[in-house]
Amino acid sequence: MRNRIISAVLAALAVGAAVAAVVPRSAAQNQFGDADAEPAPFGPQMGALMSMVIQPRHAKLGLAGKAQNWELAAYSLKELRQGFAVVAKAVPRWKGQPVPDLFDEAVSQPITLLDFAIKLRFQKQFDEAYESLTKGCNACHATTEHAFVVIKVPEVSNFPNQEFQPKP
Amino acid sequence: MRRRAVIVVALAALAASTMMFSVRAVAQNPFGDADAEPAPFNPQMAALMSMLIQPRHAKLGLAGKAENWPLAGYMFKELRQGLVVISRAVPRWKGLPVPDLFDAAMTQPLATLDFAIKAGEPRQFAESYARLTAGCNACHGTTDHPFVVIKAPEESAFPNQDFQPKR
């Protein structure tokens, strides 16, 4: 019964969309905007900034540390920390919450420990601090009602055009 | 005689390349001028597609495949918002009306995807997601980019993100 209802609703949606497709829509009715509007500056917000500036750097840091490529790990940590600063400047408040303070609470301590572990080239300390950093990400996601965005330690590389192993 | 001619030609080529290098230094460098003022980052269609749409399309597919409906709902919203952001940043691309292209390619699959996610229906999600992906490729075809072929992801490209729902 439920499947029949769902099929009926989907069919209705398809018919509605097909009708809409042949009836010209005004710019105001187009959910994506108006082709004749002036181009607007690109101002990425929290979701885009996290995906562009934080998530890849978090992954690269983990992969570099796992490979004991300390030079790359130090660079990736610096980039990640800088990424947080960039996001906090671009979006100082997100849904009313103070972004620099959220970051400070979630990642300052793990970043200090990571910095220490990388400079001393301590794999075990790096792993622990990286785990703690990752937990900080998820704690912040939970605080900001995004608990379903779950960050974890990467096991494999998603950068097929980058070598993470240190030079022999 | 032939040897002298070769030397003369070589000297002329050297002089010409030296001149070209000095003249080229600023005006002809295809990458710009090191002494120019920094310009704001102003990504256009290809960069926006790679930054905003492709990752969100992939994450949406992975969330739906894992039946992680809260995450799928969030990625769906982000993907739709990404299309709006691009429409505003590049309302016309090579003369073509971008919001209208997105509307033709995406509105129907987005409506059915929204419904499938809210109903938590994996089969309808998979069908709608396939239609969404077909919409991407139809639009690429319309805009003379049929060689950019999008497909449903089979595995995650985000090893530091867990797509499984919380138990």
Q: Answer yes or no: is B102 within a domain.
A: yes
CATH number at residue B74: 1.20.120
Contacts of B88 in chain A (CB under 8 A): 33, 37, 39-40
Give the tens place of pLDDT for each residue, A75-129.
Answer: 999 999 999 999 999 999 999 999 999 999 999 999 999 999 999 999 999 999 9
Say how far apart CA B97 and CA A144 lie, in whole Å. 36
Q: Is residue B88 domain-resident?
A: yes
Q: Does a structural domain hold residue B82?
A: yes
Give how far Cα B139 sits from Cα of A74, A163, B133, B143, B149, Å: 42, 35, 10, 6, 10
Chain A residues close to B70, C-beta within 8 Å: 148
* Structural domain that includes position B135: 45-142
Question: Does the CB of B84 have a partner CB in chain A at under 8 Å?
Answer: yes
pLDDT in tens, B8-59: 666 766 666 555 555 555 567 887 888 989 888 889 999 999 999 999 999 9
How many structural domains is chain B composed of?
1
Is B56 contained in some domain? yes
Whether B121 maps to a domain, the answer reads yes
pLDDT digits (tens, 9 = 90+) for A129-151: 999 999 999 999 999 999 999 99
Residue B7 within any structural domain of the chain: no
Question: What is the predicted ipTM?
Answer: 0.83
Place of tokens 């671009």: A90
Task: Say which CATH class A46-143 falls into.
Answer: mainly alpha
Q: Alpha-carbon distance B125 to B112, whole Å? A: 8
Query: Is B121 an 8 Å CB contact of chain A?
Result: yes
Residue of B160, B164, B166 to mutate when probing chain A, most A C-beta within 10 A: B160
Q: Does B166 touch chain A (CB under 8 A)?
A: yes
Residue B1: inside a domain: no
* Structural domain includes residue B147: no
Whether A149 sits inside 8 A of B84 (CB atoms) is: no
Mean pLDDT, chain A, as a whole number? 90
CB-CB neighbors (< 8 A) of B92 in chain A: 35-36
Other CB atoms within 10 A of residue A145 CB: 9
pLDDT at B64 over 70: yes
Residue the block writes with tokens 């980058």: A162
Chain A residue numbers touching B156 (CB-CB < 8 A): 158
